[in-house]
Amino acid sequence: MNRRNLTQLSVITLLALIFLPGPVLAQQKSLKEQLIGTWTYVSSVDTNKEGVKSDRWGPNAKGLIIFEANGQYSFMISRSDIPKFAVNNVNQGTATENKAVVNGMISHFGTWSVDETTKTITTNVEASSFPNLNGNSQKRVISSLTSDELKYTNAASTTGEKAEVVWKRVK
């Protein structure tokens, strides 16, 4: 290979290195684009002010969060051990049965947005099974996000504890 060919090859290689990162970076999806879809609940660890950790939802809990591209979301987590009502009528639960339901699940829906810089998901609650959330916002800081797994921290969960939550993408 002569000197001229070597110089041309060096220039081509240099140009490729300069311009290659542009298209590669342009193809990377935003956090919002990565979050869009349906996620199923995996786990949650709550930590109280004294540093004591607990699993509020217990073993085999079920949950789903759906982030729509249009900015709507729906969220639900339920314990697996909520007892059935003695009477097969939702309006005739006893005080004990109703309390088990309220303590054993949370659901809400509304709009959502993402702050790409702080990696924060903000949910604006339109309606919730816990009415104190209605009309309010919650912030969750993303600690890890892959194509298959979402991990975030909710510093102000409905129990007042910090929750570290893991979700798996539904395929």
What digits encode the pLDDT tens for the residues 138-160? 999 999 999 999 999 988 777 77
Share of the chain above pLDDT 70, in %: 84
How far is residue 164's CA from residue 140's CA, in Å, rounded to a whole number?
9
Other beta carbons within 10 angstroms of residue 62's beta carbon come to 13
| Residues 47-94 pLDDT 10s | 988 999 999 999 999 999 999 999 999 999 999 999 999 999 999 999
Q: What is the pTM of this model?
A: 0.80
Q: How many helices (H) and strands (E) does the chain have?
A: 4, 9
CATH 2.40.128.280 fits 30-169, yes or no: yes
Q: Is 152 helix (H, G, I), strand (E, B) or coil?
A: strand
